[in-house]
Structure 1
Amino acid sequence: MAVTTGPRLALVAGEASGDLLGGLLLAGLRQRWPQLQAGGIAGPRMQAQGCASWWPQERLSVFGYVDALQRLPELLRIRRQLGDRLLAERPAAFIGIDAPDFNFGLETRLRAGGLKTIHFVCPSIWAWRGERVVKLKAAADHVLCLFPFEPALLQQHGVAATFVGHPLADAIQLEVPRAAARTALGLAEAATVVALLPGSRRSEITHIAPRLAAAAVLMRRARPGLRFVLPVAPGLRDLVAPIVARHGAGADIQLLDGQSHAALAACDVTLVASGTAALEAALFKRPMVITYHLAWLNWRRMRRMAYQPWFGLPNILSGDFVVPELIQDAATPDALAREGLAWLDDAPRCAALVRRFDDLHLSLRQNTAQKATDAIAQVLQG
């Protein structure tokens, strides 16, 4: 099928953050090619843009090395079967959205079989596991980069790349709709609101949600009027609700079905798991405490591979500890509560943070869907 009438593309996103990026990307692709056909492994946002999901996205969601090893036979089987199908059907290109441990091997096989491959999201080789650039070079014809410093780094290794900005920077308004978000969530304008974001994967939530819920109890004890909201990713209420009931009794934590953006727009401060949600919090110009906790073996391995002192994206992109990070053993309920309350007592610090995050937002706001679509079109025509 000719590109101008709508190509067939295959895409794989391994978790909720990849699905978010993929949904925004597909919306841009459909602006150029309304007859686009897409299939692969997709979450609800990508499916809403017409991408058929041949396996449930949750099957690819793993947390750390221990979880990955336990799931390895299933993951390898899915990757093999998907590769067989794509080599037989011959889409115009394959787009792997993040999930490098799954996508790199698939992309390498497809590329060797004559298919064009694009990787969306440069792996954080500038932060840890820099050796992955060798696999990336073998896997991808082109890399779409979220951050401005990444293409030059990749080009040093012979990898073609384009900075397309971050689609979340386009999707999130520069001016935060705080009042509208509070109205939508039933929160009073005068209330002091704390958003708790423990992540979107089951294994992640089991490590982080108990700490956030317990911190909420301590914060509520110090300030009885505080309100707490906790967005729950689709399909995870059965996991989150018992954790909140057990560890957050007395904090009156309001569980939301999704609505993480509304929670961030409405809140005064957030306790947030490191990852895409922390970047979203920065784009909403929110004071935050970044936290993370892994299984002991996973933590030891990750710590040995780290190149930078920062863990969360807002700090990495700022090149400074602009917000506190409480990682692993430091991620105690007492510490989380203390750092969260500290933001509420320091208006000048909050105002300075907003200025930093305004600059960050503007640097990432690049009309990502258009730039990514232009880069993909060049690959398809090459």
Structure 2
Amino acid sequence: MKIAISAAETSGDLIASALVKSLLECQPDCQIEGLVGDKMSDAGCHRLWHIDQANVMGLSEVVNKLPSLLRLRNSIVKYFSENKPDVFIGVDSPDFNFKIEQKLKKRGVKTVHFISPSVWAWRSNRIKKIKTSTDLMLCLFPFEVNFYEKHGQKALFVGHPLTEKLQPRENYKPSKKVLLMPGSREAEIKSLLPELLSAVKLMREQDSKIQFSLVLANDHFKGWVVERIDKLGIELSVGNAYEQIVTSDLVIVASGTATLEIAMLGVPMVVVYKLSGVSYQIVK
């Protein structure tokens, strides 16, 4: 069996890696390939394109990278039209993946979308696009299935993969440790880290005993981060977020999937987000 997959964001890479692992456990001879991240590769997925080619955030960032995003999407459609899989799975990123699913579905490829957009909360008219794009919607929450059934769209509740591995910590003893999580994308790291370091300075003025650590999802921008935190007494680690989170009193985290993970681990957090100047002016 051949499965095509597309995960365009770091959060999708994390969740899809659990899906890839389960699929290969059920079908060891299954071939899974496509637009993937490091965690999906580690789970056994063959990389045709790297997630970094599509991983952007904010209005201005998307606009700047739009030509390359469109080329990437067209390349994915072309490849899987010529090398048809048994099924195509789009993971989250609906604005990127639905167009791929729609074109492949018209060419006879079965399509699945994993992680429903919040059509039940806003922009419910998107159901029209969903119905022309995907044969099956895999939902994280049971109430989402009811919404799709009312609109004649086949859907299945599969639950959130993280609930199988993350449980609230117990018997935690405060240690005056604060964890910084500036995100995974280049734009958010370079935008948020200076703000986080300003917060470190202010908090140290209030309590000099606070210990700060910083964790990165990968080492792509480790060198840049090291230069900024050098001599600031901040411990840096890569790829061990869960271990760092459960041993922290507080996490200051970039808005995103990590907030759900921290909440599931039962750790207090402050969520931060910063728009680019251009994005701010557009929203304003």
Instruction: Decide whether the 8 Å contact of 1:14 with 1:57 is kept in 2.
Output: yes
Provide the residue aligned with 2:251 in structure 1: 270
Provide the residue aligned with 1:165 in structure 2: 159
Provide the residue aligned with 1:279 in structure 2: 260
Q: Identify if the C-alpha distance between structure 1 residues 78 and 169 changes in structure 2 by more than 3 Å, giving closer, same or farther.
A: same
Query: Which of 15, 33, 45 pairs up with 1:39?
Result: 33
Following superposition, the deviation at residue 32 of structure 1 comes to 0.9
Q: Identify if the C-alpha distance between structure 1 residues 225 and 168 changes in structure 2 by more than 3 Å, giving closer, same or farther.
A: same
Provide the residue aligned with 1:258 in structure 2: 239
Instruction: Decide whether the 8 Å contact of 2:255 with 2:271 is kept in 1.
Output: yes
Q: Identify if the C-alpha distance between structure 1 residues 18 and 194 changes in structure 2 by more than 3 Å, giving closer, same or farther.
A: same
Following superposition, the deviation at residue 144 of structure 1 comes to 0.9
Higher fraction of strand: 2
Give 5+ residue unaligned stretches, structure 2: none
TM-score where L is the length of structure 2: 0.92
Query: Which of 225, 232, 244 pairs up with 2:229?
Result: 244
1:135 aligns with 2:119: no
| Distance (whole Å) between structure 2 residues aligned to residue 178 and residue 39 of structure 1 | 42
Cα deviation digits, residues 106-151 of structure 1 (max 9, x gap): 0000001110100111113345544433322221111111123222
Secondary structure of 2:267's partner?
Answer: coil
What value does the CA root-mean-square deviation take over the aligned residues? 2.1
Moved more, 256-265 or 122-131: 122-131
Q: Which amino acid aligns with 2:144?
A: E
| Distance (whole Å) between structure 1 residues aligned to residue 135 and residue 228 of structure 2 | 44
Cα deviation digits, residues 248-306 of structure 1 (max 9, x gap): x64x2211112111111111111111210000000110111122111245357668xxx
Identity within the alignment, %:
37
| Distance (whole Å) between structure 1 residues aligned to residue 135 and residue 141 of structure 2 | 19
Provide the residue aligned with 1:294 in structure 2: 275
**Residue correspondence of structure 1 range 164-243 to structure 2 within 5 A:** 164-172=158-166, 174-176=167-169, 191-234=175-218, 235-243=220-228
Secondary structure of 2:151's partner?
Answer: coil
| Distance (whole Å) between structure 2 residues aligned to residue 269 and residue 74 of structure 1 | 38
Q: Identify if the C-alpha distance between structure 1 residues 83 and 229 changes in structure 2 by more than 3 Å, giving closer, same or farther.
A: same
Q: Identify if the C-alpha distance between structure 1 residues 143 and 227 changes in structure 2 by more than 3 Å, giving closer, same or farther.
A: same
User: What is the count of residue pairs matched by the alignment?
Assistant: 283
Provide the residue aligned with 1:10 in structure 2: 4
Query: Which of 147, 150, 153 pairs up with 1:153?
Result: 147
1:27 aligns with 2:21: yes
Provide the residue aligned with 2:64 in structure 1: 70
Q: Which amino acid aligns with 1:37?
A: Q
Provide the residue aligned with 1:49 in structure 2: 43
Q: Which amino acid aligns with 2:229?
A: V
**Residue correspondence of structure 1 range 77-156 to structure 2 within 5 A:** 77-156=71-150
Give 5+ residue unaligned stretches, structure 1: 1-6, 180-188, 304-382
Cα deviation digits, residues 294-331 of structure 1 (max 9, x gap): 1245357668xxxxxxxxxxxxxxxxxxxxxxxxxxxx
TM-score where L is the length of structure 1: 0.69
Cα deviation digits, residues 33-57 of structure 1 (max 9, x gap): 1111111011111111221111221
Higher fraction of helix: 1
| Distance (whole Å) between structure 1 residues aligned to residue 193 and residue 130 of structure 2 | 33
Instruction: Decide whether the 8 Å contact of 1:178 with 1:265 is kept in 2.
Output: no
